[in-house]
Amino acid sequence: MRLNRSFGEMVREAKWIYAYSKSYRLEICFYILSGVLSVIMGLGSSVVSKYLIDAVTGHNNDTIAYAAAAFVGMGVFKALSNALSSRISARIEIRVTNDIRADIFDKMMLADWELISEYHSGDLLNRLNGDVSAVSASIVGFIPSLITRLLQFVLTFILILINDSVMAAIIVVGIPLSVLASRYVMRRLREYNRRQREAHSELTAFNEEALSNLQQIKSFSLVGHFMDRLREVQAAYKLIALKLNRFSVWTTLLYTLLGLVVSYGCYAWGVYRLWTGFYTYGTMTMFLMLAGYFSSSFSALVSLVPTCISQLTAAGRLMEFVHIPKERPSDPERMRSFGESGVSVSVEHALFAYAHRQYVFEDVSIHADAGEAVALVGPSGLGKTTMLRVLLGLVELDEGSATVTNGRGEVLEISSATRRLFAYVAQDNVLFSGSIRENLLLVRPDATEEMLISALTDACAWEFIEKLDGGMDFKLGEKGSGLSEGQIQRIAIARALLVDAPVLLMDEATSALDIATEQRLIGNLLARSGRQTVILTTHRDSLLSLCGRVYSIAGGTAVEVV
């Protein structure tokens, strides 16, 4: 049953790879044609060599000239064909790799947030790089190699069969043994490949997480711990990688020995036929060359087995993202029109739990009128950030409703499609590497200089930005390094203000500011527009007086306290 299931999975994965390859069928066909011509020239050289040797031993000068010319010409053509194939292969591989990587990246970006967030970012990065490279290699290399090597194998066998049926029978003896062994080999190789790729993902995830949190690691004097931990993860990867290598080595050795037995059997038979006078020296030379071609094609086909398993395993890991549901698409124009008259937000009797976890909400209801400031308070980890995720359409309620209503009385269910109605300032205030200006223009590419300065002024950020070297063109490092946490928070708020959405969500977005700056900033936000709704989470009592409504979220419920 397990073998049948594995075979079925491999068939589905192969079909998935084939679907990608159809976009490049002309290039691949040209690449295959080049390989086929190379094979034909190689086999043709072996046949021509027979006549060349026979002409030399028979002192037939006329035949020698023609045979030598044909032999050299075929060799040169084969060399040129191989060079052309390498060039075509490189061009196709770059195109295919970029296209598949872009497609998988798009699927990751468009996937349901809750489901995609179950994957570690390091694992996603490993799949996006390593697994995509393996799949693209299968399209560029495996399919053409399989076809050309099979053709070489079949044509070589036919030539041998035509010239000596006994030698062909010796070759046929080894084929059933290879087929019987391959069923077990494929199953084991698939399991080892899957485990190795999972171990490599864990290694990539560890490295990515450690390097992105280097400041915290140093701050807590955890450098030694993480250095030791890396070696533990490396040891786990080494163990499974060596197991795969050991199995591959023994498998390859087995097939190689089987190929040698067949090859030596053919050689011994050829020597016997030469000794008995049945073969000419030219015929013997031809069979030696054909035996070499047969042995090389057999070895190449054998080596394609672990390569195929590895590539199909990589395809299976990428196919996981194909089945993750996409978020609902948004209609920007409709959302702009919907939010022109202001937006109120309502969540009624919400029931929600993350996958395989206890409920965060059991019966939560909150409401914010258009233009109103509402605060969500309560202990950490009990639902404030989750509520903002609900409003952003990142997660969907298990029960209850979450809606937005505009000034015309139109109501929409909150989902990813309504996300454009919200501007969001996250708790970690992520800025991207590049200039401050580039970070701001990400959300509003058409923003004028006046609009940028206005947003920065309202966020209490312009007062320090204009003093920086280059002002808004000051270059930031990863995650905004080069600025203080409070400065990063104010730029993140300015970026959200540029979105000019009817609802502004702020998740502990002013926690690094002093109280005076925080109150001045919130006052600026409330004064910007009487129609903008502000929903914020906070642990500071100093902000509550500025809010028209305050909800305490704890124990799976929400209680209005102001």
SS3 483: coil
| Least confident piece of the model among 165-179, 205-219, 273-287 | 165-179
| Residue type (1 letter), 214 | L
Neighbours of 322 (CB within 10 A): 11
pLDDT band of 505, cuts 50, 70, 90: very high
CA angle, 354 then 355 then 358, to 5°: 60
Taking 80 as the threshold, does the pLDDT of residue 6 lie above it?
no
Per-residue pLDDT for 55 more than 80?
no
Which stretch, 207-221, 272-286, 295-309, 407-421, has highest mean pLDDT?
A: 407-421
User: Among candidates 170, 149, 160, which has minimal Cα distance to 264?
Assistant: 170
pLDDT at 179: 52
**pLDDT at position 89, please?**
72
Of 440, 470, 463, the closest CA to residue 452 belongs to 440
- The predicted model gives 249-263 an average pLDDT of 75
Residues whose CB falls within 8 Å of the CB of residue 196, separated by 6 or more in sequence, listed in order: 237, 240, 241, 244
Give pLDDT, residue 184.
Answer: 66
How many CB atoms are closer than 10 A to CB 171? 21
Residue (of 366, 375, 446, 369) closest to 405 by Cα position: 369
Of the candidate ranges 148-162, 384-398, 442-456, the one whose mean pLDDT is the lowest? 148-162
3-state secondary structure of 496: helix
> Residue 146 is encoded by which pair of tokens?
């399989």
pTM for the model: 0.75
Picking from 538, 527, 455, 531, the residue whose alpha carbon sits closest to that of residue 497 is: 455
Q: How far apart are the first and last CA of the chain?
A: 63
pLDDT digits (tens, 9 = 90+) for 346-385: 999 999 998 767 888 989 999 999 989 999 998 888 888 9
Asked which of 273-282, 465-474, 512-521 is least confident by mean pLDDT, the reply is: 273-282
Q: Are 152 and 43 in contact (CB under 8 A)?
A: yes
List of residues 6+ apart from 218 with CB closer than 8 A = none
Whether the pLDDT of residue 204 is over 60: the answer is yes
Task: Kindly list the distances between the CA atom of residue 464 and the CA atoms of 73, 130, 430, 518, in Å, as whole numbers in the listed order.
Answer: 75, 43, 19, 15
User: Which of the two residues, 451 and 150, has the higher pLDDT score?
Assistant: 451
Domains along the chain? 2-322 (1.20.1560.10), 332-560 (3.40.50.300)
Per the CB < 8 A criterion, the answer to whether 241 and 199 are in contact is yes
Q: What is the DSSP string of 222-240?
A: -HHHHHHHHHHHHHHHHHH
**Is the pLDDT reported for residue 284 higher than 70?**
yes
* pLDDT at 2 exceeding the cut of 50: no
What pLDDT shows up at residue 3?
46
180 pLDDT exceeds 60? no
In angstroms, what CA-CA distances link 268 with 157, 173, 275? 17, 15, 10
Region 50-74: mean pLDDT is 69
pLDDT at 174: 59
Angle CA 212–442–476, to nearest 5: 45
Percentage above 70 pLDDT, the chain:
92
In this prediction, residue 175 carries a pLDDT of 60
The length of the chain in residues reads 562
Mean pLDDT along residues 473-494? 87
The structure tokens 């390593």 sit at 130
pLDDT tens, 402-433?
A: 999 998 999 999 999 999 999 999 887 678 88
Q: Which of 370, 372, 364 is nearest to 401 (CA)?
A: 364
- Mean residue pLDDT across the chain: 82
In the chain, the percentage of residues whose pLDDT exceeds 90 is 20
What would the two tokens of residue 330 be?
């948004």
pLDDT band at 183 (very low <50, low <70, confident <90, very high): low
Mean local confidence (pLDDT), 189-207: 84
Whether residue 463 has pLDDT greater than 60: yes
pLDDT at 106 over 50: yes
